[in-house]
Amino acid sequence: MLRELWNDAEGGFHPASAPDFLPTEALREVQLRRLRAVVAHAYEKVPLYRTRMDERGLTPAAIQGLADIARLPFTVKADLRDTYPFGLFASPMSDVVRLHASSGTTGKPIVVAYTREDVEVWSEVMARTLAACGLHRGDILQNAFGYGLFTGGLGAHYGAETLGATVVPISGGNSDRQIMLIRDFGVSAICCTPSYFTHLVERAGELGVDLRALPLRIGIFGAEPWTDAMRDHIEAAAGIRVFDIYGLSEIIGPGVASECGEQNGLHIFEDHFYPEIIDPETGEVLPDGAEGELVLTTLSKRAMPMLRYRTRDITALIAEPCPCGRTLRRMRRIGRRSDDMFIIRGVNVFPSQVEAALLAVEGTLPHYQIILSRQQGLDQMAVEVEVTPEVFSDKVGALEGVRARLAKSIEHILGIRVELRLVEPRSIARSEGKAKRVIDRRNG
């Protein structure tokens, strides 16, 4: 019945979104029941969890309430590498219907597994994600997240089909074809990394296609850090509303958290992924509102449960209820990771600060790179940013003005002066997936 109502509706809520609105008390009950089950499952099936819990004198019976989660040991990325490829699997391979892997920057990838039930949960949380971003049946979603071992493509694909939207499984790359299909198919929503979308906007301009004049109305972006300034830039350039979605392979892929129409924090699908914020130095659990490292526990994963996984992503939980009515807690957008900081002349710098500083200055394009080097034992940073053709050609003599404003903006936000290189449009490599913002030449 609900489904039929939904089918006739132009928008509104998909039945899959019902858990988003559970009364808090009922939500906590679901969480505790699932937590107890997942801890028992992990303890029984995964030697690493059993050993660590035994070392602490814990059995699954120690989990009596949700607060007891803090007694469990953390899991970290190195645990996945050390048990490569299948050491953390809690299901026999005969029950595993899918593997994904994240490339990582060096060495072996990390491998993640899904049972059929896990794929169903993933489809559900991705349907809830897309619904929260305003998608519904009748929408045509161009899925430009990469298909393959990366979780983005298939995660969004299954979610869109579960929602009942029409999915165009184009994957990343082939930008001219992307633009042709957006126009010819009347695509109404697109998902990809925000950096790839800035490239599509640029290419559309070169091809004489005005995205603002097309039916495209929603962008669903994630998989990399991006600022509010970048969102404003994209919304204006493409004439669409843009939503931030979050996830990571170790937990499920995309579908861990999503913005809603309020665009003010990401709701965590906490009936499946239990969030905590910890002090990254001490591991102590921090109260709502405090900034720290996000730790997630999968409450329903079968093939590869994760207990207290340290994401290294820095955020804070938002205690205030959201006007959208969802009872799920929200987190602030992820501005940084605990491992992407560098220190320049004694000042802590995060790439997202550089992005915010650049986009605040007119005449710049949203394509930039941070180059780190080491000179006489000291870390140095240069920022390379593309400027518009008008500025670059310097016909109207704007180049030095832009440079001065950029220097000031960076100094204002970072508190230091850095070497600035204003470069021609298209000089910085474009990415089809996650952008590489930092080029680290500190070790040769």
Q: Is 219 in the site for ligand DLL (CB under 6 A)?
A: no
Binding mask 97-116 for ligand DLL (x = CB under 6 A): -----x--------------
Q: Rounded to 10 degrees, what is the CA torsion of 153, 338, 199, 370?
A: -150
Q: Which stretch binds ligand DLL (CB under 6 A): 27-35, 246-254, 295-303, 393-401?
A: 246-254
Q: Is 433 in the site for ligand DLL (CB under 6 A)?
A: no
Q: Which stretch binds ligand DLL (CB under 6 A): 31-39, 68-76, 218-226, 355-363?
A: 218-226
Residue whose CB is less far from ligand DLL, 105 or 375: 105
Q: Is 145 in the site for ligand DLL (CB under 6 A)?
A: yes
Candidate list 172, 247, 265, 366; residue touching ligand DLL; CB under 6 A: 247
CB of 294 vs ligand DLL, minimal distance in Å: 8
Q: Is 244 in the site for ligand DLL (CB under 6 A)?
A: yes
Tokens of 389: 């053709």
Q: Is 224 in the site for ligand DLL (CB under 6 A)?
A: yes
Q: What distance, in Å, lies between the first and last C-alpha atoms of the chain?
A: 64
Q: Is 196 in the site for ligand DLL (CB under 6 A)?
A: no
Tokens of 285: 């659990």
DSSP secondary structure code for residue 69 in this structure: G
Q: Is 197 in the site for ligand DLL (CB under 6 A)?
A: no
CB of 309 vs ligand DLL, minimal distance in Å: 10
Burial of 101 from C-beta contacts in 10 A (0-12 / 13-18 / 19+): middle
Q: Which stretch binds ligand DLL (CB under 6 A): 75-83, 244-252, 283-291, 358-366?
A: 244-252
Q: Is 313 in the site for ligand DLL (CB under 6 A)?
A: yes
Tokens of 163: 């929602």
- The residue with its CB nearest to ligand DLL is 222
State how far the Cα of 238 lies from the Cα of 217, in Å rounded to an integer: 9
Output the DSSP codes for 288-323.
TT--EEEEEEESS-SSS--SSEEEEEEE-EE-SPPT
Q: Where are the beta strands (DSSP E) in 9-108?
A: 96-102
Q: Which stretch binds ligand DLL (CB under 6 A): 245-253, 342-350, 372-380, 418-426?
A: 245-253
Binding positions for ligand DLL, 27-46, rule CB under 6 A: none
Where does 61-150 have alpha helices with state H?
77-82, 116-132
User: Residues 364-391, buried b or exposed e (16+ Cβ, 10 A)?
Assistant: bbbbbbbbbbeeeeeebbebbbbbeeeb
Q: Is 334 in the site for ligand DLL (CB under 6 A)?
A: yes
State how far the Cα of 196 lies from the Cα of 314, in Å rounded to an integer: 23
Do residues 172 and 197 touch, judged by C-beta distance below 8 A? no
25: left (phi over 0), alpha (psi -120 to 50) or beta: alpha
Binding mask 252-271 for ligand DLL (x = CB under 6 A): -xx-----------------
CB of 408 vs ligand DLL, minimal distance in Å: 27
Residue whose CB is less far from ligand DLL, 222 or 275: 222
Q: Is 248 in the site for ligand DLL (CB under 6 A)?
A: yes
Q: Rounded to 10 degrees, what is the CA torsion of 368, 373, 375, 379?
A: 90
CB of 186 vs ligand DLL, minimal distance in Å: 24
By CB under 6 A, name the binding residues for ligand DLL.
Answer: 102, 145, 151-152, 222-225, 244-249, 253-254, 311, 313, 334, 337
